[in-house]
Amino acid sequence: MPTFDQDRLFSQRILDAYNEMSRGERYLADVLLENPLAILDQTATQLSERAGVSKATTARFFRLLGYPSYKAAQAQARVEGISSGQSQYGSRMQTFKSHKPDLSIHLQSEVQNMVRTLEQQRSDHLDQAVQILARGEKLWVVGFADNYPLAHFARAQLIRVRPDIRLIPLGSFSVAEEFASISASDAFLAFGVLKRIPQFRNVLRSAIGAGSKVVYVTDQMSRTAEDIATVTLRCRTRSTGLFDTVVPALSLINYLCSALAIYIGESAMERLNMIDEIHAEWDDLLSDHI
Amino acid sequence: MPTFDQDRLFSQRILDAYNEMSRGERYLADVLLENPLAILDQTATQLSERAGVSKATTARFFRLLGYPSYKAAQAQARVEGISSGQSQYGSRMQTFKSHKPDLSIHLQSEVQNMVRTLEQQRSDHLDQAVQILARGEKLWVVGFADNYPLAHFARAQLIRVRPDIRLIPLGSFSVAEEFASISASDAFLAFGVLKRIPQFRNVLRSAIGAGSKVVYVTDQMSRTAEDIATVTLRCRTRSTGLFDTVVPALSLINYLCSALAIYIGESAMERLNMIDEIHAEWDDLLSDHI
DNA sequence: ATAAGTTGTTTCATTTTCGAAATTTTGTTG
DNA sequence: CAACAAAATTTCGAAAATGAAACAACTTAT
């Protein structure tokens, strides 16, 4: 009889149990992680059909996750939707009490997250993302709070491949003012991994409202957001460490940028070479490679 | 009987089949993706033990992947190992001409870099690094150019664990002026992965000159730098993509921050909880995780 | 060359997983 | 409040997965 842990979020339960799941359970987990809203409006039967498993498996699945029944899980999910996030660190810290974290376990979890993140990307979505990044007249890269480093990093790579990349937020400039220059032919690369602030959603809504295309990189806990994004790419973030990880997201950026350069082709290559030349002329880099 | 597709790389086969794998098969897949070299030097029996499955499962696993036997897979992997090792350092742009990059190859290379990076860390160096980060009165996080996102990211995590973290460079403030407040009891976390500019070295020299301790995260190409750092942690950066990767560096930061929090212990925990509470009070985060 | 030891594969009984159908629960309508 | 309908859960037998042990192929040591 599994304990019914009131305080753990639905998606978290799935991710925590994911490693040990059987095949059918994994299919269900994938469906629910892909579209966390499903549990709210879909019946267990519909869910079963979508995952390609029997109703019996679905019923068992929710008991495995520690809910007494599907109904209970549904009810719990509805409550979670309203109440805000609970203490994230407290429970995890307990695990470590007076230990130092094991590097090999850290490694294993990072690798698993990366494998599952990249493995689950639909190649048509990736293609679409690359096209959007390539075709946008201007390309806005958006990342607030925790996502700012990701955005910054993405911008640093993208600017090597194509011109007209703008970072949001930029310094202390007012976002709204900067934002007035959106056009329908622009593209967005938006990072909403883990922490998302209200302003982030506002920005994306405006972007979509203006007719821009949006590539949205997020985690598996966020709700599906067609009103906010043209393509959504989800990353695994659940980590054994104290903090969640954005390593898979970073790796995805790497891939997208490489793919973009190749998609753009000759002009990207020229640009890369030009940048090298400028660096050489300025002689601004330390060359202490051995 | 599955066909024996000569031309598909070993890791690629695993990824192709990953979705449909049974539990035990997935355990094996995870082990092999984390350490693809295992197939070369490990026996099937050892592999079984590492994955926690029976020898029978391992034998079946390789047949599932389309190899006639384990031996055959091993032989095939050896051939691939030689041929793929050579093209590694060729002109990267040529490699891609008119192709789109393969996600599974990208994944493989990222995983490889991460595994090698984390495995090669000496645990005494890591311990020393954590101590330095914990004991510094102020903690300066340094990262110019490409390293700025890394520094920014590290700061974002560290500030959750301990106070008095300063980022360099910060906005457009003059580094020198900010820097006047170094003291011998301060600590530095410096990122010099890939691109390093002269100012970076100047900062570190001043830091060491002032008697501060410096944790230096860099790549494998930089020269050994005792005059610049107290502890040096090296990361693999060579990637199959168009750009070098800082994924391993990011993962290392993750580990260090977790380790630091646990090392600091109770006060870090209190700090984390306090941050949670403040977020809750301000209600500034979107809670769309259902 | 033969015995002893490994290593990989196969067999077979056991356990786990799974779906169809029966059963129960829940909700709705006359 | 029946009577029905739909949804969720449980039952139960079939199929899949798995590990222990037998077996076969190879190496090594004597």
Q: What is the 3-state secondary structure (H, E, C) of chain A?
A: CCCCCCCCCHHHHHHHHHCCCCHHHHHHHHHHHHCCCHHHHCCHHHHHHHHCCCHHHHHHHHHHCCCCCHHHHHHHHHHHHHCCCCCCCHHHHHHHCCCCCCHHHHHHHHHHHHHHHHHCCCHHHHHHHHHHHHHCCCEEEEECHHHHHHHHHHHHHHCCCCCCEEEECCCCCCHHHHHCCCCCCCEEEEEECCCCCHHHHHHHHHHHHCCCEEEEEEECCCCCCCCCCCEEEEECCCCCCCCCCCHHHHHHHHHHHHHHHHHHCHHHHHHHHHHHHHHHHHCCCCCCEC
If residue B136 lies in a helix (H) or strand (E), which one and from where to where?
Answer: none
A197 touches chain B (CB under 8 A): yes
Q: What is the CA radius of gyration of chain B?
A: 23
How far apart are the C-alpha atoms of B88 and B241, rounded to whole Å? Answer: 10
CB contact under 8 A, A285 and B171: no
Q: In chain A, which residues have their Cβ closer than 8 Å to the Cβ of B34?
A: 107-108, 111
C-alpha to C-alpha distance for A278 and B195, rounded to whole angstroms: 14
pTM attached to this predicted model? 0.88
Q: Residue B20 gets which letter from DSSP?
A: T
CB-contacted nucleotides of strand D (7 Å): 6-12, 16-22
- Under an 8 A CB cutoff, do A241 and B222 touch? no
At residue B100, the pLDDT reads 78
* Contacts of A115 by beta carbon, 8 Å cutoff, 6+ apart: B15, B18, B30, B33, B107, B111
Which pLDDT does position A1 carry in this prediction? 39
A54 contact to strand C (CB, 7 A limit)? yes
Q: Quote the minimal CA–CA distance from A9 to chain B in Å.
A: 7
The dihedrals phi and psi of A278, each to the nearest 5 degrees, come to -60, -45
Cβ of residue A245 closer than 8 Å to a chain B Cβ: yes
Q: Is the CB of B69 under 7 A from strand C?
A: yes
* Residue B94: per-residue pLDDT: 53
- CA distance linking residue A123 with residue A130, whole number of Å: 11
Q: Is B246 on the interface with A (CB under 8 A)?
A: yes
Of A23, A106, A114, the CB nearest to B111: A114
Nearest residue in A to B283, CA atom: A84
- The pLDDT, as a whole number, for residue A281 is 81
pLDDT 10s per residue in chain A (290 long)? 344 445 567 888 898 999 999 999 999 999 998 888 889 889 999 999 999 999 999 999 999 999 999 999 998 888 776 654 455 666 676 666 667 788 989 999 999 999 999 999 999 999 999 999 999 999 999 999 899 999 999 999 999 999 999 998 887 677 777 777 888 999 999 999 998 988 898 899 989 999 999 999 999 888 777 778 999 999 999 988 889 999 999 999 999 999 999 999 888 888 888 888 888 787 767 665 43
CB < 8 Å to B196, chain A: 285-286, 288
Rounded average pLDDT over B228-239: 92
Sort strands A187-192 and B231-235 into parallel, antiparallel or unpaired: unpaired
Helical packing angle, B55-64 and B70-87, nearest 10°? 60
Task: Check residue B248 and report its DSSP letter.
Answer: H
What pLDDT, in 10s, does the model give residues B95-104? 555 577 889 8
Check whether the bond before A169 is cis (ω within 30° of 0). Answer: yes
Q: How many CB atoms lie within 10 A of CB B287?
A: 16
| Segment holding B159, helix H or strand E | none
**53-72 of B, contacting A, C-beta below 8 A:** none
The torsion of the CA quartet A18, A22, A25, A26, rounded to 10 degrees, works out to 50
Cβ of B196 and A285 within 8 Å? yes
Yes or no, beta carbons of B262 and A242 under 8 Å apart: yes
Q: Does B202 touch chain A (CB under 8 A)?
A: no
Q: Which residue's C-alpha is at the least distance from the C1' of D18?
A: B57
A20 CA – C23 C1', rounded, Å: 30
Measure the CA dihedral B148/B153/B156/B157, to 10°. -140
Tokens of A36: 């966390």
| CA A145 / C1′ C16 distance in Å | 46
Distance A26 CA to C19 C1' (A): 16
Q: Which residue is nearest to nucleotide D9 (CA to C1')?
A: A59
Tell me how long chain A is: 290
Cα A2 from Cα A283, distance rounded (Å): 64
Q: How many CB atoms lie within 10 A of CB A26?
A: 24
Length of chain B: 290
- Does the structure show a pLDDT above 60 at B91? no
| Residue range B168-209, pLDDT digits in tens | 888 767 767 777 778 899 999 999 998 888 889 888 988 999
pLDDT in tens, B133-177: 999 999 999 999 889 999 999 999 999 999 999 998 887 677 677
B129-148 residues touching A, CB cutoff 8 A: 130, 146, 148
- Which H/E stretch holds residue B224? none
Give the nearest nucleotide to A59, CA to C1'.
Answer: D9
User: Closest nt to A73 (CA→C1')?
Assistant: D8
* Residues B11, B16, B17, B23, CA torsion sign: positive
CA distance B65 to B61: 6
Query: Tell me, in Å, how far CA of B98 is from C1' of D19?
Result: 49
Q: Count of A–B CB contacts within 8 Å?
A: 240
What are the two backbone dihedrals, phi and then psi, of residue A220, each rounded to the nearest 5 degrees?
-90, -5
Helix or strand (DSSP H, E) at B54? none
- Confidence at residue B156, expressed as pLDDT on a 0 to 100 scale: 94
Shortest Cα distance from A72 to chain B (angstroms)? 14
- A4-24 as b/e: b if 16+ CB within 10 A: eeeebbbbbbbbebbeebebb
